[in-house]
A and B are shown apart, each in its own frame.
Chain A
Amino acid sequence: MAASSYDRAITVFSPDGHLFQVEYAQEAVKKGSTAVGVKGKDVVVLCVEKKSVPKLQEERTVRKICLLDDHVLMAFAGLTADARILVNRARVECQSHKLTVEDPVTLEYITRFIATLKQRYTQSNGRRPFGTSCLIAGFDMDGTPHLYLTDPSGTYTEWQANATGRSAKTVREFLEKHYSDEAVSTEEGAIKLVVKALLEVVQSGAKNVEVAIMRPNQPMRMLDIDSLEKIVGEIEKEKEEEAEKKKQKK
């Protein structure tokens, strides 16, 4: 199929129903580093692959996990600048909703807002889609945890666990195999699952991983490096033991 005839304008469908600019935007998402999210019984955990920063760069300016509101977290993959715009708009919307309705946004509401914004940019002339995919996690007022994923086309779906960015398929396969309600019934279990999933594709160790945890009615906290190294150490030990068992079986 000659994509070149139909991929220059966002508003043009190809004969077989593709919007190539949207698909190219999804390719941009795959260039971003991996972000993983897991929803537990009373915890949501987001884990991202942290890019190693140059020596002279301020690490705090490179953030993949953002707070949209006290109870809403977001991790993204793809174009950094596009994500920044989305985060700003979402934050404003969260406060506007709180002022107007006197209630904090629900996760579904803010996800739908972000997805609607993304969709608008797939149907306008002179614009291009957002090259970002977002994992939005948090708790509603009633304490129910949610995890949503949006993509450049403007679709959004709710998940128990998912990943986005580079190698998302590999991580998703891992989560499909290892996710269970028992595994994520505790905070420690959920954190371990999400770190283990990310370490499937991030081979550099604990230093390139960042974990954000949120519980109902509690502020978000980032897992400190010592706890992370301990968890990574446990995971690597378990892997070695499994490899040893396999060798013995052979």
Chain B
Amino acid sequence: MATFFGEVRYLVSRAYDEEDDDEDTPGITYNVCLEMSEGGQGKMKSVEALLISYGTLVTDFCETLVLSEQCQEVGKVYVEAQNSPSVEDTGDFHPRKPVPSCLFLTPTSLLVCCVSKDVTAVVAPKFAQKLLSLIKPSCLVMVLSSHHYDALKGNYTPQGEDNCVVHSLRSSTFPHIPIYPQLPQPAILDSVPAAVMTECVVGQRQCVAYSVFTETYSTGDLDLVAGALQRVFKGKPFQKYVSVGLDVKKLHQYRTTNPCRENLDLYL
């Protein structure tokens, strides 16, 4: 058989009993690496709360309305794949480089992590452990997520008169009542939000997760959820860390500077 580069390889018949045939090709493994900026590690002691955003919508929300010019980037979390297929096997000479998840520290001691879309369910537990190892056990943790395995199913019946698009899950040690009602079954969280919640429950940390469910996979409009997510920051205990006003100008500015969002104007 000829490979992509034209060299000839001889096929081995399975009828042959070769000594080297027992080697199993190792599967892909992932490592989560943390890279802190200068002085970033020292600032972790002052962190009082951690905000994790997972999913395009909530990441847009955090980047536009939560983060400000006064925030400082303190580090990045990388996901490295090992034993991945070589260029010879894939033929891809320009493989896509995974995007790191950035860590920002606000003046109010809130650590914000905008999780990259390259952090998949496979690596989520390691990612969660790495992230939570940065902060003290007494820190509050909030997870905002808009990326889910599935939308709310058609057989989902509202718990009450309200049929809001945001739901919550909290650990037993979380002292406050979440703004939004509990996530009903059969809806589920997965990937990073689930991994963070699990780590917090196991580690007895105070954690609340707010999940935004939208009806289709093709989510993309911040307007739908911005109002809902604002309410999250108007309640305890996160109101002291973030004062979020829905500045319409900021939303427009974000749209105009982010070219991949411009196609939203095609739809009315």
- Interface flags for A107-126 (1: CB within 8 Å of B; 0: not) read 00000000000000000000
Contacting residues, chain A, for B264 (C-beta < 8 A): 31
A26-68 vs B, CB cutoff 8 Å, 1 = contact: the mask equals 0110111100000000000000000110110000001010000
Tell me, in angstroms, the Cα distance from A14 to B249 when the chains sit together: 46
Task: Name the interface residues of A126-175: CB closer than 8 Å to any CB of B.
Answer: 166-170, 173-174
B163→A79 contact, CB < 8 A: no
8 Å CB contacts to A: which residues of B241-268?
246, 248-249, 251-252, 255-256, 264-268
Which A residues from 232 to 248 make CB contacts under 8 A with B? 239, 242, 246
Residues of B within 8 A of A217 (CB): none
Interface-centre pick from B246, B248, B268 (highest chain A CB count, 10 A): B268
A-binding residues in B (CB < 8 A) = 154, 158, 160-163, 165, 214-216, 218, 220-221, 223-224, 226-228, 246, 248-249, 251-252, 255-256, 264-268
Q: Give the CA-CA distance A151 to B131 in the complex, in Å.
A: 46
Whether A201 contacts B224 by the Cβ 8 Å rule is: yes
Q: Do A80 and B267 contact each other (CB < 8 Å), given the known contacts A31-B220, A166-B221?
A: yes
Q: How far is the CA of A54 from the CA of B162 in the complex (A)?
A: 31
The count of chain A contact residues (Cβ–Cβ below 8 Å) is 36
CB within 8 Å for A30 and B268 given contacts A52-B251, A54-B256: no
Contact A51 B165 (CB under 8 A): no
**Interface SS majority for chain A:** mixed
By the criterion CB–CB under 8 Å, are B227 and A33 in contact?
no
Compute how far the CA of A32 lies from the CA of B263 in the bound complex, rounded to whole angstroms.
11
29 A-B pairs (CB sep. < 8 Å) = A27-B216, A30-B215, A30-B216, A30-B218, A32-B268, A33-B268, A51-B223, A52-B252, A55-B249, A55-B252, A62-B268, A76-B268, A77-B268, A78-B268, A79-B267, A80-B268, A166-B216, A167-B165, A167-B214, A167-B224, A169-B154, A170-B215, A174-B163, A202-B227, A204-B223, A204-B226, A204-B246, A239-B161, A242-B161
Residues of A within 8 A of B267 (CB): 28, 31-33, 77-80
Say which residue of A28, A30, A54, A174 sits within 8 Å of B252 (CB atoms): A54
Contact in complex: B165, A201 (CB < 8 Å) = yes
Contacting residues, chain A, for B165 (C-beta < 8 A): 167, 170, 201
> What is the distance, in angstroms, from A204's C-beta to the closest C-beta of chain B?
5
CA distance A218 to B200 in the complex (A): 62
A80 and B265 CA atoms in complex are apart in Å by 8
Q: How far is the CB of A191 from chain B (nearest CB, A)?
A: 20
Nearest B residue (CB) for A200 = B163
